[in-house]
Amino acid sequence: MRLATLKPFLYGILASLLLLGAYFSILTLVSGWSFAQDQFKQFWYFIVSLAVGFGVQVGLYTHLRNRIASMHGEGKMLGVTGTTSAAAMVSCCAHYLVNIFPLIGTAGVLTVIAQYQVQFFWLGLAMNLAGIFYIASRIIKVKTL
């Protein structure tokens, strides 16, 4: 397998692992390692799905960027919604910041986030799918050029 073919796959795996690392780091810093583990056990299917979706987006984007580069820079400027996945992952955990920032006026916002945590997971998954479909449509468009 050529490196150019393998590169998007490796970048996707790395992006998924980095997002999981960010998730565990944030929760561990805010509430401790055992709490991070408990939250992962409770919501693992959402968290893993978000991380995998982010990795797929990064892999597809890398593939698209390589394809455009092979066309000697021709093509349109493209964006990726991969940061949406990271934002969803972080926002689902942001309510834990209430533990360390109770006096700065964010308690109300963080309480709302905590109350709708599962809905934020679903929003993140929907944004993941939208990003994957968008990048896939750009790949198809570039192939037809």
pLDDT one-digit tens code per residue, 103-123: 444 455 556 667 778 888 888
pLDDT of residue 81: 44
pLDDT one-digit tens code per residue, 121-142: 888 888 888 888 888 888 888 8
Mean pLDDT for all residues in the chain: 76
Q: Name the nearest CA neighbour of 87 among 54, 114, 61, 109.
A: 54
pLDDT one-digit tens code per residue, 32-57: 899 899 989 999 999 999 999 999 99
Whether residue 78 contacts residue 138, with contact meaning beta carbons closer than 8 Å, is answered with yes
Q: Name the nearest CA neighbour of 60 among 85, 92, 90, 43.
A: 85
CA distance 49 to 46: 5
Q: What is the mean pLDDT of residues 75-83?
A: 44
Q: Number of folded domains in the chain? A: 1
Residue 69 has pLDDT above 70, yes or no: yes
Q: How confident is the model at residue 77 (pLDDT cuts 50, 70, 90)?
A: very low
Angstrom CA distances, 62 to 11, 80, 117, 132, 142, stand at 8, 10, 31, 12, 13
- Which residue range(s) make up the domain with 123? 3-144
3-state SS assignment for residue 71: coil
Widest CA span of the chain, in angstroms?
56
